[in-house]
Structure 1
């Protein structure tokens, strides 16, 4: 077929594909046929394959229809009561730090390499002697039962199916014993210490007895916070919130199974207000396994953590809801990595939505990343299958960008894989 004939055929097919009488799926198919014999052929054939299944309306009706993790959020918003969605969506003050967590990924460009055989890649990473299938883990999220009745149990089963690690929150809706049972393997335990040392000890002992290899102390919630988005969304919630939420710490944790059979009568706050480095030293004295600090954002604190025998750090601003600092976690990562100088693993959370985000963090020295809101969107929208698809999409995107930078294993993702602009 000569070039002129090809041009005429393509124009004819493009005319038909633009017709309002033609079904959208047929139009997409014709667009692919029109591209045969042109440089657009491969790209168009991929687009046709990604088109199914057909959607009715703007919201996905099944996990299989999702093109990326963002597709789950509007479905979650539709499914959840306004106050519950507000809690999930809220940052602090004007949500500028929450936004910075996302925006600052755009300041890091990926350097693509060519002519490297990347047909086989390995995404495993070893942390504390355990091999993870992927550097993508689930971050701790509080009160997951507010988003789906199966709560962390469904998330744990998704992690088992897809091969990911997860961290359970102290105020999760599922006990650590049940989460480990559903995942079929140990999970990390995130500790809110409270201001009663006796309670702290019991929480740590229970988590370690269940098999948790790491205790993750959250240190970024001592100053209080102003969650305006939550307060705004709550205004439109017609339910009586006091039916579930009543004043007092005992009532606050009455539906949190990790506090079962623990005397909380002396507790006045969950976050251990007044904690200092002496507290970390004291905690190090009772934690038999690994001790991780979550919420470190500066090189100064990272260096002090090393002197206190901490085994790993998680760079975190609580998903943009700890303080309105405008400091993103991806922006803080390099100085924390530089401070520890390879002595301990550095993980990170905050704003991770794409596989490219994961690669950028690893290129800047992170050992692994933790994902919070996206998995809860998937859970709220579709339960366990939603969480599975969120993990599938992020892992698929991560593997794709690994190939584009010419990395066949995580150790080949280096500072040369990105450029900060």
Structure 2
């Protein structure tokens, strides 16, 4: 067959395919997704079908509603179902619990429903830039990982797996004082410095030693948690623990020394005088004293009022994290996204304002940025991914949230973070 004959037959074939697809598209018996499916088998495409959904995008789930691997996840909530199945009841309860009736935990999520997104059209958003710069460091995404304690309770590789996931997906993370992995090992796994969240204890010598160790390891920011002063009633944890048949005292025994015996940040420290991890009695004078010790950046985590935000500036704080400990600090019924505007207004651009509490979707992230947040810290979702599948689970959680965030960025017509502002959202 000559080249001209081949071209002629090829053109006729394409025309026949097009006519068939046009006929199928007009048929009330076939859904658009099915048409796209047929188009794929025919080896052709139609511009009219270019954005049709791929009905084969997700493989069948084999274990009821549970995904069998990270690639099957449609959203971050899919990982929670697996985490609940694989974790001991007490460990899952610790991760899931808020305080009292979990109403503030719920309020964090409900707060996003009070904010609508304003979509813009006819803007070229084929190329977008999601980088943000904080303290001179460029992050690949405004989505960072919040500190979560005792991650060895969720997966044997603990924070090491999380750090490797952050390295692979280019996200920043904050390590908890009572993490299952040392800051030196976490920085090694991530390949670059991480922030360090400080539980102050009630022994200044221990507090100072923790700060010096973190900064020596390379932590550019010390994040003092200030929202755990009044104690808490974690009913969901207590309820789940009733169904745990293990002997919990095999790992958990009374006394602070025993409590931190498996927490590497306390290795070689004399904790005999410590009675409380959270520094009950801490005041603004404590912040002043800590400011005199911290050589790098000092961040306060747990600020939820404009009064405290303004006062933090007076004490030389370099950034704030709007947080109610993921609904685990107090049963205030106040969402973090709800108080964010007053914090942003109080600091008036003088320091970065980060936020955590209930972030599960890319749309949640863009709402916070539109209201003035510099970055967003995600907690439970990556712990679900860690519990379910280890490092690959954490990576997929980050992939999903970043993908959702980039999608909604394009819908609001933003090609870079600076273009996300108050005009991107409205109150419902």
Same fold (TM over 0.5): yes
In structure 2, how many angstroms separate the alpha carbons of the residues matched to 1:147 and 1:374? 12
Describe the shift of the 1:2–1:378 C-alpha distance in structure 2 as closer, same or farther (beyond 3 A): closer
The alignment's TM-score, normalised by the length of structure 1, stands at: 0.93
Report the equivalent of 2:23.
6
Q: Aligned with 2:57: secondary structure?
A: helix
Distance in 2 separating the partners of 1:327 and 1:8: 49
SS in 1 for 2:55: helix
1:29 aligns with 2:37: yes
> Does the aligned pair in 1 maintain the 2:37–2:54 contact within 8 Å?
no
Question: For the structure 1 residues 79 and 359, does the alpha-carbon distance in structure 2 shift closer, same or farther, using more than 3 Å as the test?
Answer: same
Are 1:246 and 1:252, in contact at CA under 8 Å, matched by a contact in 2? yes
C-alpha displacement of 1:8: 9.4
Q: Compute the displacement of 1:28 (Å).
A: 8.9
Structure 2 spans left out of the alignment, 5+ residues: 1-17
Map of 1:67 onto structure 2 = 74
* Residues 108 and 32 of structure 1: CA distance in aligned 2, closer, same or farther (over 3 Å): farther
Q: Which residue of 1 aligns with 2:317?
A: 310
Deviations, residues 213-254 of structure 1 (Å, cap 9, x unaligned): 000000000000000000000010000110100000000000
Structure 1 equivalent of residue 425 of structure 2: 418
Q: Distance in 2 between matches of 1:256 and 1:94?
A: 30
CA distance in 2, matches of 1:188, 1:223: 25
Of 355, 378, 385, the residue aligned with 2:385 is: 378
| 1: CA distance, partners of 2:40 / 2:102 | 42
Structure 1 residue 6: Cα displacement: 3.2
Aligned equivalents of 2:147 and 2:135: distance in 1?
A: 19
Matching residue of 1:55? 61
Residue from 380, 392, 401 that aligns with 2:399: 392
Alignment of 1:106-121 (within 5 A): 106-121=113-128
Q: Deviations over 1:334-366 (max 9, x none)?
A: 000000000000000000000010000000000
Show the counterpart of 1:92. 99
Q: 1:94 to 1:28 in 2, by over 3 A?
A: farther
Provide TM-score, normalisation by structure 2: 0.91
Match of 1:139 in 2: 146
Q: CA deviation at 1:47?
A: 3.6
Corresponding residue SS for 2:149 = coil
**How much does 1:104 deviate?**
0.8
- Structure 2 distance, partners of 1:8, 1:66, is 30
Matched, 1:344 2:361: no
* Secondary structure, counterpart of 1:231 in structure 2: helix
Q: Structure 1 residue 26: deviation in Å?
A: 8.1
What residue ranges of structure 1 are gaps of 5+ in the alignment?
A: 18-24
| Secondary structure of residue in 1 paired with 2:27 | helix
Partner deviation per Cα, 1:265-303 (whole Å, 9 max, x = no partner) = 000100000000000000000000000000000000000
CA distance in 2, matches of 1:122, 1:37: 30
- Matched with 2:333 is 326
Instruction: Give 1:22's aligned residue.
Output: none
Matched with 1:160 is: 167
1:5-32 Cα deviation digits (max 9, x unpaired): 9379724556xx9xxxxxxx98993699
2:130 is matched with which residue: 123, 130, 139?
Answer: 123
Say whether 1:83 aligns with 2:100: no
Q: CA deviation at 1:54?
A: 2.4
SS at match of 1:48: coil
What secondary structure, in the 3-state scheme, does the structure 1 residue paired with 2:223 have?
Answer: strand
Q: 2:260 aligns with which of 242, 253, 260?
A: 253
| 1:284 paired residue number | 291
- Post-superposition offset of 1:55: 1.9
1:335 to 321, 342, 346: 342
Q: Is the 8 A contact 2:25 2:35 kept in 1?
A: no
Deviation at 1:310, TM superposition (A): 0.1
Secondary structure of the structure 2 residue equivalent to 1:50: coil
TM-align CA RMSD? 2.3
Q: Is the Cα–Cα contact under 8 Å of residues 34 and 55 in structure 2 kept in the other structure?
A: no
Mapped contact 1:13–1:31 kept (Cα < 8 A): no
In 2, are the aligned partners of 1:312 and 1:344 still within 8 Å (CA)? yes
CA distance in 1, matches of 2:131, 2:410: 15
